[in-house]
Amino acid sequence: MCHAMLWENFREEAVQCRLCAHGCSLKNDGKGRCGVRMNRNGKVIPLVANVVTSVHLDPVEKKPLYHFLPGSKIFSVGSAGCNFACSFCQNFAISQIRPGGRMPGKIVDPDALVEMAESRAARSMAFTYNEPTVFFELVYETAGLAQAAGIRPVIVSNGYMSQECLLMLGRRLSAANIDLKSFRDNFYKKYCNARLQPVLDNLKVFKSLGIWLEVTTLVIPGINDSDAELRDMASFVHDELGAETPWHLSAFHGAYKMIAHPPTPLSRLEEARHIGLEKGLRFVYIGNVRSLLGGNTFCSRCGELVVERSGYNVRFRESPGVCPSCKTTLPGIWQ
């Protein structure tokens, strides 16, 4: 059993977990809100230590990351559990697991994961599918080994880790895709069992650490897609993270407790993209649905097409990230 990181004794046998912004106090035998960290006799036990439920070699565009080694494959690793309880989670079978019976997946050591990534010639490795914060010990150690082997570590996250956790992990990350699920605290409380402000604070920290950052919003019709809320999100990304931060607008399809909720019409995603561009963002993408132009990268200087995407197929007009017309190199990590 590996030792949990980022916790402290609280009083008597109670402990406090410092891994995410929930900061759970755990009584003896109690579990945190994520369900995968437990107080056993005054010590925090990570119940998903080295548990891996999924390993895939994915197109990097699937994360989604559009300005990070485009066209390459990323070795992707998932475990189980989540510190959110999103009603619309597409991966609820692994994210909402509550250990007690048989744990899914198998035990895999960090060095074995790096060997697997190397044997598949992956240039990067993502911690994804469920929230990486809740299997931090595996993420932290594996990211360090991957970095030493020349494989660039990435997280796909809800951005709710504690700043202490983020500052530790940040040194080992090359890129991140972080969800901005809404710009309303009520949304985070009602649909995710979380709060908005820690996510906003962490997004700024990601940026300040120099980690390549892309932001994703799942646009849910009638829930978080009003013009006013989309404008608020676009303004935040523009003003606090920078006009050149890619913003992905992802189509909702019914899942988990919101299985019957209607999908996002393409027309609404196009309107949302327009709002983002109007607010001054340079790279606003439509994903999770077929869109003629919404997946392409256009030059932020002259407007020329630079990267053409169709599904996960990528075609560069010239060398990666370089505008074929004005020769501007766009922001990102291209090679």
Phi, psi dihedrals of residue 43, rounded to the nearest 5°:
-130, 140
Q: Least distance from C-beta 256 to ligand SF4, angstroms?
A: 19
Quote the CA–CA distance of 208 and 32 in Å, as a whole number.
29
Query: Which pair of tokens denotes residue 85?
Result: 């309880």
Query: Across the strands, what pairs with 247?
Result: 215, 284
Q: Least distance from C-beta 159 to ligand SF4, angstroms?
A: 13
CA distances for 186 relative to 190, 191, 193, 232, 249, angstroms: 6, 8, 10, 15, 20
Tell me whether residue 77 or residue 237 sits nearer to ligand SF4 (CB atom): 77
Tell me whether residue 10 or residue 298 sits nearer to ligand SF4 (CB atom): 10
Tell me whether residue 19 or residue 125 sits nearer to ligand SF4 (CB atom): 19
Mutual angle of helices 227-236 and 266-278, in 10-degree steps: 50
Contact footprint for ligand SF4 (CB under 6 A): 17, 19-20, 22-24, 32-34, 37, 83, 133-134
Task: Give the residue nearest to ligand SF4 (CB).
Answer: 32
Q: Least distance from C-beta 44 to ligand SF4, angstroms?
A: 8
Parallel, antiparallel, or unpaired for β 106-107 and 51-52? antiparallel
Q: Least distance from C-beta 307 to ligand SF4, angstroms?
A: 37
Tell me whether residue 37 or residue 73 sits nearer to ligand SF4 (CB atom): 37
Q: Which residues contact 84 (CB under 8 A, 6 or more apart)?
A: 95, 131, 158, 160, 192, 193, 194
Q: Which of 198, 138, 148 is nearest to 171 (CA)?
A: 148
Q: Going along the chain, which residue ranges are E strands?
A: 7-11, 14-17, 25-26, 37-40, 43-46, 51-52, 54-59, 73-78, 106-107, 124-127, 152-157, 175-179, 212-219, 247-251, 284-287, 297-298, 305-310, 313-316
Q: Least distance from C-beta 83 to ligand SF4, angstroms?
A: 4
Tell me whether residue 164 or residue 239 sits nearer to ligand SF4 (CB atom): 164
Tell me whether residue 17 or residue 219 sits nearer to ligand SF4 (CB atom): 17
Q: Least distance from C-beta 33 to ligand SF4, angstroms?
A: 4
Q: Least distance from C-beta 17 to ligand SF4, angstroms?
A: 3
Quote the CA–CA distance of 224 and 308 in Å, as a whole number.
29
Tell me whether residue 83 or residue 291 sits nearer to ligand SF4 (CB atom): 83
